[in-house]
Amino acid sequence: MALYTKKGDNGTTGKFGCDQRMSKSSAVAEALGTLDEANSYLGLCKLKAHEAQCMIDGKKVGGILHEVQDDLFIIQAEVAGADKTVSEEKVEWLEGVISELEEALPEINSFFISGGSELSTYFDFARTLARRAERRVVGVHDEGVQKIEEQTLAYLNRLSSLLYALARYANMQNGTEEAAPDYV
């Protein structure tokens, strides 16, 4: 099978199970692209977490991120029109991981400036990509172009919270103090 089809040379792409073509700048194509971007960057985070031997309660952070990447493929399939969606249990699983992290972290009193430890910085950037992907998927939902299930929207919202918690956790594990903005 060839790695290219030439079908998109005119700036269009296809949607799952549909012969119609749509612009690569459409809301669906944009949502799929940003989900792919976030998923790819999570691969880098997974590698860096593995190198740093980052663990939460005996679980490898890389394994958690791999599961998130699998879930993002399900979300991409849903956005593309497949009869797939992440389960409510997946949202609850994310909430559980976030809760474990919160128990280990100091209380939040302020926003924090990115750039603490190297791993924290990767997670901070992944969080911004996840937020953008969430906005694009919400756009698809709001425009009524494709039905997006409530638990999918909840999952994407929790994902950025997970990545924020992981950034803070990476700083704590590295002994890096978080820096709050001065606002002066």
Give me the pLDDT at residue 31, please: 96
Give me the numbers of helices (H) and strands (E) for the chain, helices first please. 5, 4
Given a contact cutoff of 8 angstroms between Cβ atoms, the answer to whether 61 and 55 are in contact is: yes
- pLDDT in the model for residue 16: 60
Listed in sequence order, the residues at least 6 apart from 101 whose beta carbon sits closer than 8 Å to its beta carbon are 56, 162, 165, 166, 168, 169
Q: Which three-class secondary structure state does DSSP give residue 27?
A: helix
Query: pLDDT digit string (tens) for 112-166?
Result: 888 889 999 999 999 999 999 999 999 999 998 889 999 999 999 999 999 999 9
Burial of 61 (0-12, 13-18, 19+ CB in 10 A): buried
- What is the C-alpha to C-alpha distance for residues 143 and 136, in angstroms, rounded to an integer? 11
* Helix, coil or strand: residue 142: helix
CA dihedral 152, 155, 160, 163 (to 10 degrees): -140
Q: What pLDDT shows up at residue 12?
A: 63
Question: Which residues contact residue 12 at a Cβ distance below 8 angstroms, ignoring those fewer than 6 apart?
Answer: 21, 22, 23, 24
- Nearest of 10, 146, 166 to residue 97 by alpha carbon: 166
The predicted structure's pLDDT at residue 22: 65
User: Rg (Cα) of the chain, in Å, rounded?
Assistant: 18
CB atoms within 10 A of CB 151: 16
Q: For the chain (length 184 residues), average pLDDT per consecutive 10? A: 70 66 76 97 97 91 97 96 96 97 88 89 97 97 93 98 96 89 86
